[in-house]
Chain A
Amino acid sequence: MTYILKTAHILLVEDNEGDILLTLDAFEESKFKTRVSVARNGQEALDFLKKKGEFSDAQKPDLILLDINIPIFSGHEVLEKIKKDEIFKKIPVIMLTTSSNQKDIEKAYNNYCNSYIQKPLEMEEFIQAVLKIEEFWLQLTTLAK
Chain B
Amino acid sequence: MEKDKLDIQILLEIALNQKISEDIESSLPSILQLYLRKLNCIAVAVFQEGNWPYVLPHALRNNEIWINNLQTFSDKFLTDTQEPIYQEINQLNFYGFALHQFGWLCLIRKTDFSTEMFLELNKVVQQLGRELSQAKEEQRLKLLQQLFDKSFDAIQICDEYGRMYYINDVASKRLGIEQSKVNEYKVSDFEKLFQAKPEAWAEHVVDLLENGQQILDSENINQDTGAIIPVEVTVSLITVNHKNFVIAISRDISKRKKVEEKLLISYQEKNNILESIGDAFFTLDKNWTVTYWNKQAVKLLGLPKEEIVGKNLWDVFADTIDSNFYLKYHHAMETGEIVRFEEKYVTQGKWFEVNVYPLKTGLSIYFTDVTLRKEADERLIKANERFEKVTEATNDAIWDWDIENNTLYWGEGFKTLFGYDVHKVTPPLKFWTDHIHPEDLEWVSKSLEDVIKNGEPILTVEYRYKREDGSYAFVINRGIVIRDGNGKATRMVGAMTDISDRKKHEEQLLTFNRKLESQTKELQRSNEELEQFAFITSHDLQEPLRMISSFMDQLDRKYADKLDDKAKQYIHFAKDGAKRMKQIILDLLFYSRINRPTEQEELVNLNEIVSEFLLLRRKLVAEKKANVHCDQLPIIVSYKAPVTQLFHCLLDNALKYSRVNVPPVVAIKVEDKGAYWQFAIKDNGIGIEDRFYEKVFIIFQRLHNRKEYDGTGIGLSTAKRAVEFLGGKIWLDSIVGEGSTFYFTISKTTNYSS
Is chain B's binding surface mostly helix, strand, loop or mixed? helix
Q: A74–B543 Cα gap in the complex (Å)? A: 17
A98 and B542: CB pair below 8 A? yes
Smallest Cβ-Cβ distance to B550: which chain A residue: A123
Kindly state whether residue B130 has any CB partner on chain A within 8 Å: no
Q: A126–B550 Cα gap in the complex (Å)? A: 9
Q: A18–B548 Cα gap in the complex (Å)? A: 10
Kindly state whether residue B610 has any CB partner on chain A within 8 Å: no
Smallest Cβ-Cβ distance to A16: which chain B residue: B543
Residues of A contacting B344 in the complex (Cβ-Cβ under 8 angstroms): none
Residues of A contacting B542 in the complex (Cβ-Cβ under 8 angstroms): 98, 121
Smallest Cβ-Cβ distance to A124: which chain B residue: B553
> Do A18 and B598 contact each other (CB < 8 Å), given the known contacts A121-B582, A123-B557?
no
Kindly state whether residue B314 has any CB partner on chain A within 8 Å: no
Q: A102–B641 Cα gap in the complex (Å)? A: 14
B543 and A22: CB pair below 8 A? no
Interface string of B530-562 (1 = CB under 8 A from A): 000000000100110111011101100100000
B547 and A102: CB pair below 8 A? no
B549 and A122: CB pair below 8 A? yes
Q: A22–B549 Cα gap in the complex (Å)? A: 11
Within the complex, the shortest CB–CB distance from B541 to chain A, in Å, comes to: 10
User: What bracket does the count of chain B residues touching chain A fall in?
Assistant: 10 to 19
Smallest Cβ-Cβ distance to B552: which chain A residue: A123
Smallest Cβ-Cβ distance to B555: which chain A residue: A123
Q: Among the interface residues A18, A123, A126, which one has the most CB atoms of the partner chain B within 10 A? A: A123
B582 and A22: CB pair below 8 A? no
Residues of A contacting B554 in the complex (Cβ-Cβ under 8 angstroms): 22, 25, 123
> Do A121 and B549 contact each other (CB < 8 Å), given the known contacts A22-B554, A25-B554?
yes
Interface string of B590-606 (1 = CB under 8 A from A): 00000000100000000
Q: Among the interface residues B542, B546, B582, which one has the most CB atoms of the partner chain A within 10 A? A: B546
- From B547, B553, B557, B582, give the contact of A18 (CB < 8 A): B547
Q: A123–B550 Cα gap in the complex (Å)? A: 5
User: What bracket does the count of chain A residues touching chain B fall in?
Assistant: 10 to 19
A98 and B543: CB pair below 8 A? yes
Q: A59–B722 Cα gap in the complex (Å)? A: 52
Within the complex, the shortest CB–CB distance from B71 to chain A, in Å, comes to: 169
Within the complex, the shortest CB–CB distance from A26 to chain B, in Å, comes to: 10
Q: A16–B554 Cα gap in the complex (Å)? A: 17
Kindly state whether residue A76 has any CB partner on chain B within 8 Å: no
B547 and A123: CB pair below 8 A? no
Residues of B contacting A18 in the complex (Cβ-Cβ under 8 angstroms): 547, 550-551
> Do A123 and B539 contact each other (CB < 8 Å), given the known contacts A18-B547, A98-B546, A102-B598?
no
Q: A123–B549 Cα gap in the complex (Å)? A: 7
- From A101, A102, A121, A126, give the contact of B545 (CB < 8 A): A121
Kindly state whether residue A43 has any CB partner on chain B within 8 Å: no
Within the complex, the shortest CB–CB distance from A125 to chain B, in Å, comes to: 10
Within the complex, the shortest CB–CB distance from A21 to chain B, in Å, comes to: 8
Within the complex, the shortest CB–CB distance from A57 to chain B, in Å, comes to: 32
Smallest Cβ-Cβ distance to B549: which chain A residue: A121
Within the complex, the shortest CB–CB distance from B506 to chain A, in Å, comes to: 45
Q: A25–B553 Cα gap in the complex (Å)? A: 12
Q: A96–B598 Cα gap in the complex (Å)? A: 22
Smallest Cβ-Cβ distance to B586: which chain A residue: A121
Residues of A contacting B550 in the complex (Cβ-Cβ under 8 angstroms): 18, 22, 121-123, 126
Seen from chain B, the residues whose Cβ lies within 8 Å of a Cβ on chain A are 539, 542-543, 545-547, 549-551, 553-554, 557, 582, 598
Complex A-B, nearest 4 residue pairs according to Cβ-Cβ distance, in ascending order: A123-B553, A123-B550, A18-B547, A102-B598
